[in-house]
Amino acid sequence: MKATAKAHTNIALIKYWGKRNESIILPTNSSLSLTLDGFYTTTTVDFSEEYTKDQFTLNERPIEGEQLRRVTGFLDLIRQHAGKSLHAAVHSVNEVPTAAGFASSASGFAALAAAGSKAIGLDLPERELSALTRQGSGSACRSIYGGFAEWEMGTKEDGSDSYAVPIAPAEHWDLRVAAVVLSSKMKKVSSRTGMKRTVETSPFYQGWLDSIPAEMNQIKEGIKELDFEKVGEVAEANCLKMHATTLGANPPFTYWHDTTMTVMETVREMREKGIPAYFTIDAGPNVKVLYLPENEEVIKNTLRTIPGVADIRLSRPGQGVTYL
């Protein structure tokens, strides 16, 4: 009982930042993302009576400890769903840096959910697959779809209405993203730890939640109308609000690095010179720059000159989960 699936990472334009239920991963706000073709995971899951325990290799290396526990915990959900108790061998390859702020958990859990559920014989509709994926890592539930996807937070306690839905396919709009990789990294507070601390202690958290519905409406309009300025302005403002909540947390923290701020400033300067570009940043120091295809050369060349920038990785809108 074997299946292989490929899934891409996504970048949130309206961020998921906070949980109302930590065990089944239910968010406190809806979020919206763009799936990226440049970063992906391919995972094969093989359920067999021959295995006496679950095994997990990542990039051909056997994995133990916390990373194995997360995979085994997720396989338990799949087994429970299917009413089967078989162990599995999971082989995964990340075409994305692992645990470095490039959302390997999103492509990783989306590929694992798709391959695992198919291998065990579950034929899940996309919404159910998304709701299952959500329980591995929240942001991963959006990677089931290509292009633009919204994770609707839902209101039910059992999480059955908390899943992602497609907003527009990859072909709708060739919106590009440059991932700016910094040469040195700050000590990492994981997104899981960071959002928990913020929900529990930041006085700015309620302001964050209050701002989401209007921003969600605006960005969906912008995507529909292919209005780059509208989408960029909302995404940048939403990112800054999310990061502002961390400064109010106890103990306070920030994901930003000095070069993070230099990249943000460079993007603003490009805009002043008439080159449309906007930034967004997840729970790490690296910056993602949104731009249109006609400005790719100037964006790439400008970002490359910033001291402390190690690499620029360019992405187009990516496809949803596929089975190989």
- Residue ranges binding ligand ADP (CB under 6 A): 41, 43, 58, 67, 70-71, 92, 94, 98-105, 108, 112, 190-191
When asked if residue 138 is in the footprint of ligand DP6 (CB under 6 A), the reply is yes
- Pick between residue 14 and residue 168 the one whose CB is nearest to ligand DP6: 14
- Cα–Cα nearest to 90, from 144, 102, 70: 70
Q: Which residue is nearest to ligand ADP (CB)?
A: 108
Which helix (DSSP H) or strand (DSSP E) does residue 246 occupy? helix 228-247
Q: Are 175 and 280 in contact (CB under 8 A)?
A: no
The entry of ligand ADP, ligand DP6, none near residue 12 (CB within 5 to 8 angstroms by kind) is ligand DP6
Q: Which stretch binds ligand DP6 (CB under 6 A): 75-83, 131-139, 173-181, 215-223?
A: 131-139
Instruction: Give the nearest distance from C-beta 274 to ligand ADP in angstroms.
Output: 33
- Pick between residue 37 and residue 227 the one whose CB is nearest to ligand ADP: 37
- Pick between residue 105 and residue 107 the one whose CB is nearest to ligand DP6: 105
The entry of ligand ADP, ligand DP6, none near residue 218 (CB within 5 to 8 angstroms by kind) is none
Print the binding letters for residues 23-62 with ligand DP6: x by CB under 6 A, - otherwise: --x-----x-------------------------------
d(CA 315, CA 301) in angstroms, rounded, equals 16
> DSSP class of residue 33?
E
Q: Token digits for 55? A: 């095994």
Binding to ligand DP6, residues 256-285 (CB under 6 A): 282-283
Instruction: Give the nearest distance from C-beta 62 to ligand DP6 in angstroms.
Output: 23
Binding to ligand DP6, residues 98-127 (CB under 6 A): 105
d(CA 83, CA 137) in angstroms, rounded, equals 22
When asked if residue 139 is in the footprint of ligand DP6 (CB under 6 A), the reply is yes
Strands 55-58 and 87-95: parallel
Which helix (DSSP H) or strand (DSSP E) does residue 111 occupy? helix 104-119
The entry of ligand DP6, ligand ADP, none near residue 16 (CB within 5 to 8 angstroms by kind) is ligand DP6
Q: Token digits for 216? A: 């969600």
Strands 163-168 and 148-152: antiparallel
When asked if residue 152 is in the footprint of ligand DP6 (CB under 6 A), the reply is no
The correct pick among 4, 16, 212, 309 for binding ligand DP6 (CB under 6 A) is: 16
d(CA 164, CA 157) in angstroms, rounded, equals 17
Q: Are 228 and 4 in contact (CB under 8 A)?
A: no
When asked if residue 191 is in the footprint of ligand DP6 (CB under 6 A), the reply is yes
Strands 87-95 and 2-14: unpaired
- Pick between residue 193 and residue 301 the one whose CB is nearest to ligand ADP: 193
- Cα–Cα nearest to 1, from 64, 47, 32, 60: 47
- Pick between residue 246 and residue 302 the one whose CB is nearest to ligand ADP: 246
| Amino acid at site 173 | W
Q: Are 187 and 194 in contact (CB under 8 A)?
A: no
Q: Which stretch binds ligand DP6 (CB under 6 A): 44-52, 110-118, 137-145, 293-301?
A: 137-145
- Pick between residue 5 and residue 106 the one whose CB is nearest to ligand DP6: 106
Instruction: Give the nearest distance from C-beta 140 to ligand ADP in angstroms.
Output: 9
Evaluate the omega torsion of the peptide bond into residue 251 and state whether it is cis, within 30 degrees of 0: yes
Q: Which residue is nearest to ligand DP6 (CB)?
A: 138
Which helix (DSSP H) or strand (DSSP E) does residue 283 occupy? none
Residue 148 burial class via C-beta count within 10 angstroms: exposed 0-12, middle 13-18, buried 19 and up? buried
Residues that bind ligand DP6 (CB under 6 A): 12, 15-16, 25, 31, 105, 137-139, 191-192, 282-283
